[in-house]
Structure 1
Amino acid sequence: MKRVILLSALLLSQFGTSQLLKTSGKKIVNDRGENVQLRGLGLGGWMLQEGYMLKTADFAGPQYKIKEKIAELIGEDGMNNFYKAYLKNGITKQDIDFLAKEGFNSIRLPMHYNLYTLPIEKEPTKGKNTWLEEGFKMTDDLLQWCADNKIYLILDLHAAPGGQGNDVNISDNDKSKPSLWENEENQKKTIALWKKLAERYKDSPWIGGYDLINEPNINFTGKNPNGTDEMSNAPLWKLQKDITAAIREVDQKHIIFIEGNGWGNNYNGLIPIWDKNMAFSFHKYWNYNDEPTIKAALDLREKYNMPIWLGETGENSNVWFTELIQLLDQHNIGYAFWPMKKIDNIAGITNVKTTPEYEKLLEYWKNGGEKPSKEYATKALMQIADHYKFNNVEIKNDVIDAMFRQVTDGSTKPFKNHQIPGKIFATEYDLGKIGSAYEDKDFINLWV
């Protein structure tokens, strides 16, 4: 009898009686019923690139166009080799160890479906799903690194089959092909992918939940192309309900995160809640950090007695980061900042350094002129892929300080250990809040 009890206790501890997340009224809690505020980071730019992250936005926004530009210079094989290095270096155990050490307790993984399954146009048998090991292996490794650090991994379908909106960069949407909403095969593939993921991770205590469709932005019946004025959103709710049903066939444990239209914030026409372990996700960028800007989300939480999660935010200043987190803490709202790495990044926790050679490629792509040789372009691109390694990125300690210490601590501290005599740059004088460590007239980015 004692052995049975010990074995049961061991199994429970492995699954994580104080780990597995679920919803409880307006809160996300662990197995002990303790409130868990997700303090997360989204790994934007890894499995799915947007042009602005690689400085190609002027001529190649969605990933498929970036790939075309690269293949034009170094061929299809060269492009594939670049992406192999890029994906290998982009996120490693070192990155996750670092994030956990700095205080993040969760990771949001923006997934591109084409790392897990073929596009419908390339399926050998119409209506069947070919599964690709690459995406699942990357997710397995990432989950292990998260588990090693006791932090949660939230899976986010960032690029759904066919693309989920008119903002083509977000979901790598090729407008020459039928979208997610126009094609039933794409919808079936989306549902099948989520079921496959749920089967694989149903017993993983460090999976924090499933974020079904990132930032839908589509006009079903409204005039705004990104769905901000949509009143019913019927196809969106139906698909998320169908995905949930498929997940629940194999996994009854993990939280389902749903997103509204209009980049995640339009919840008009919401049908009766279809699952007992579900939360709302909303996104917030470039606006004030006050209660009116989160009122719609707070109202959802109150009306439906369900948790809300700020699934994506960031791309701003240290002042904005600190003020936002103070606001979220006041209302017990978890969050995931965006992104992890991008080239020439001044508004995030790491910066990938550009090179003169890469800038020359950008110049050619944008303005034409003499075509760089295949050898030159290959070397320039592989050097950039190497710059994505954790050891090669610049850590933005001021951003991390603003996201954690400055939220509750108004004191200043040295930016780094300066050697005297020597130069001390004004930008490296102190870590701390505006008005204490520094003064600035242009200190926040507000345009929404």
Structure 2
Amino acid sequence: MPEAAMEDFYEQYRARFVNKADIDFVAAQGFNCVRLPFHYDLFLTRQQRRARNNASRSPRNVDAYVQALTRWYDQGQLFTNTENLDGFRLIDEVLRWCAANNMYVILDLHAAPGGQGSDRNINDNFVPLDLWKRKDAQGRLIYQDITVRLWEKLAARYRHDPRVAMYDFVNEPHNVNASSGLSNENAEINALYSGLIAAVRRQGDQHLLLLEGNGYGNEYTNLTPDKLRIKDRRNLVYNAHRYWCPNDPKATDPNPNQLNLLANLVAFRATWQVPVWVGETGENSNEWFSGAVQSLSSQSIGWCHWNLKRVEGVTSLLRVRHYGSILTPEGRAALLRNVEFKQCVPNRDVIAALTGPAMARMPFVALSIPGTIHATDYDLGRNGIAYHDTYAERIDYRQEAPTNNGSICRNDGIDIQATADKDSNGFAVSDMAAGEWMHYTVTVARAGAYTLRARVKNDSAVPARLLVKLDDVPIGSFTVNQTPAAAPWVTMAVPTTPLPAGRHTLTLYVEQPGASLSWLQFNSATTPTTQGGQ
């Protein structure tokens, strides 16, 4: 793609990915701040960014890019002309949108010059860990000097801006250790943070300054307030990024400077008398989210959910529909269309888990009898309240099995698969274990008996058995034998016991595993039954 066309695409992408409608939506959910991640290249001119893009195409071009950065740095040509640089313009837009909603903004340097680690998923590094290693011809750690200058410019612009809550200096340093040819005690991170703190304070800026530890933001050996090489230690905030760890308030890490566990976070705050904040948390199940929010709130610790939107993401606040391939013009056009707020789908179950009452159960959609109840429309709420699944949250980062085996549709422990079966909503509940169940809040329009139909399949030779209850009273059951591979979905029907009118809890209970369920349907009692249902 020509350079100009690429720049135009990304300019459109940034304009559409987050705009005022997105911020208004976030505020409407009850959030009071936005952590705004940004890439340092947004503060380069178009010409400077062209040199960086050239380096991204081949490792052979990296040295030339570093030489260019060094020249621009020495000649005072980096991050100047702030009114015309994309980064400052975009920050100012978000500040305006957030202020209109009484929300704060945290400025987060998410991709630092040179890359703060080795994980390309969260870095901008042509060579891993270059932020900590790369020296220019004069022997300077040039990427660090550039990082300091960027924060000097940011502080000079926003030092008196009350809309900004904190500066998040560097997102998730990691693998800064002896195995990478660096210190094992965060000496390099200490030096950079000390320089950044001093540089910001020289601007007369007293904003809160958020520090992120090694190991993806959590490990603070040699980074405690007494170890930093600064005189003014006021307004420092220590960060944790909580992913795939226990929410048990008694769980501890033997390293007191490792802060992702709640007990360590609380103890660190008490020991050093500093504020703590969870700068990122997410990418787990709704059950984990609810537990995390409850635990953090009980200790008066704030948090920020990662992330706002993701393509076909079930853990984000908003879901972006699939767009194809960014390598094709059609895919790029679809992506630009799909990332706009009006095209996104709110993940209502995620939002409810993050913002709703901890032990509440609410309808996912309005369900009526007679009518069709899609299996995936079970109630909102925690495991054991709205549903029961044997594996509903991930509390060990080494355990990579998804809590939702299909990782689609919803974000609970319930396992869901895509299906093109007739009359479905595109999904079915699958991999149901014995003893698991789902609650559905239903309204029975007319009292009386009904015919209960179920769209099911069973890939196993062992019969499965599903029990349907209303207010914990059995009203019908299905024995699902192995279904043919050529036409796996079958419809079974059984008569129900008389149902009372009004609002009730319908429960799908798994007595014997093996079946997948697309939907249940209640019709008038004149519908004939099929053999095999009970």
Aligned counterpart, 1:272: 227
Residues 264 and 283, structure 1, Cα contact 8 Å, conserved in 2: yes
Aligned counterpart, 1:182: 134
Aligned counterpart, 2:198: 245
What SS does the aligned partner of 2:6 have?
helix
Q: 1:145 is matched with which residue: 74, 78, 97?
A: 97
Q: 2:213 is matched with which residue: 260, 264, 286?
A: 260
Matched, 1:437 2:386: yes
Residues 361 and 386, structure 2, Cα contact 8 Å, conserved in 1: yes
Between 269-278 and 345-354, the greater mean CA deviation after superposition: 269-278
Whole-angstrom distance in 2 between the partners of 1:177 and 1:445: 29
Gaps in structure 1 of 5+ consecutive residues: 1-70, 366-376
Classify 1:301/1:129 alpha carbon distance in 2 versus 1 (closer, same or farther; 3 Å): farther
Whole-angstrom distance in 1 between the partners of 2:394 and 2:128: 35
Residues 159 and 170, structure 1, Cα contact 8 Å, conserved in 2: yes
Question: What letter corresponds to residue 168 of structure 1 in structure 2?
Answer: R
Q: Deviations over 1:138-194 (max 9, x none)?
A: 000001111111111001111111111112221121118943443322111100111
Between 165-174 and 429-438, the greater mean CA deviation after superposition: 429-438
Whole-angstrom distance in 2 between the partners of 1:114 and 1:325: 34
Q: How many residues matched?
A: 352
Aligned counterpart, 2:348: 397
Question: What letter corresponds to residue 243 of structure 1 in structure 2?
Answer: L
Shift of 1:429: 2.8
Aligned counterpart, 1:112: 39
Shift of 1:441: 2.5
**Residues 347-362 of structure 1 aligned to structure 2 (within 5 Å):** 347-355=315-323, 358=324, 361=325
Residues 350 and 394, structure 1, Cα contact 8 Å, conserved in 2: yes
Shift of 1:351: 0.8
Aligned counterpart, 2:115: 163
Classify 1:290/1:226 alpha carbon distance in 2 versus 1 (closer, same or farther; 3 Å): farther
**Residues 32-71 of structure 1 aligned to structure 2 (within 5 Å):** 71=1
Residues 78 and 378, structure 1, Cα contact 8 Å, conserved in 2: no
Question: What letter corresponds to residue 338 of structure 2 in structure 1?
Answer: H
Whole-angstrom distance in 2 between the partners of 1:420 and 1:207: 51
* TM-score (ref. length: structure 2): 0.62
- Of Structure 1 and Structure 2, the greater strand share is in 2
Matched, 1:98 2:25: yes
- Of Structure 1 and Structure 2, the greater helix share is in 1
Whole-angstrom distance in 1 between the partners of 2:361 and 2:176: 48
Larger relative contact order (Cα-Cα within 8 Å, sequence gap ≥ 6):
1
Whole-angstrom distance in 1 between the partners of 2:134 and 2:299: 39
Shift of 1:420: 6.4
Classify 1:246/1:354 alpha carbon distance in 2 versus 1 (closer, same or farther; 3 Å): same
Classify 1:98/1:232 alpha carbon distance in 2 versus 1 (closer, same or farther; 3 Å): same
Residues 35 and 106, structure 2, Cα contact 8 Å, conserved in 1: yes
Question: What letter corresponds to residue 279 of structure 2 in structure 1?
Answer: G
What SS does the aligned partner of 1:238 have?
helix
What SS does the aligned partner of 2:349 have?
helix
Shift of 1:331: 1.1
Residues 115 and 129, structure 2, Cα contact 8 Å, conserved in 1: no
Whole-angstrom distance in 1 between the partners of 2:143 and 2:77: 11
Aligned counterpart, 2:418: none
Shift of 1:422: 4.4
Classify 1:188/1:202 alpha carbon distance in 2 versus 1 (closer, same or farther; 3 Å): same
Aligned counterpart, 1:378: 329
Identity %: 35
Q: 2:244 is matched with which residue: 286, 305, 314?
A: 286
Q: 1:236 is matched with which residue: 178, 189, 210?
A: 189
Classify 1:327/1:157 alpha carbon distance in 2 versus 1 (closer, same or farther; 3 Å): same
* TM-score (ref. length: structure 1): 0.74
Residues 406 and 433, structure 1, Cα contact 8 Å, conserved in 2: no
Question: What letter corresponds to residue 278 of structure 1 in structure 2?
Answer: L
Question: What letter corresponds to residue 219 of structure 2 in structure 1?
Answer: N
Aligned counterpart, 1:218: 175
Whole-angstrom distance in 1 between the partners of 2:112 and 2:264: 26
Aligned-pair RMSD on alpha carbons? 2.2
Question: What letter corresponds to residue 120 of structure 2 in structure 1?
Answer: V
Shift of 1:417: 3.3
Larger Rg computed on CA atoms? 2
Whole-angstrom distance in 2 between the partners of 1:226 and 1:319: 40
Question: What letter corresponds to residue 146 of structure 1 in structure 2?
Answer: C
Aligned counterpart, 2:357: 406
Aligned counterpart, 1:66: none
Q: 1:424 is matched with which residue: 353, 373, 382?
A: 373
Matched, 1:208 2:160: no
Whole-angstrom distance in 2 between the partners of 1:354 and 1:115: 26
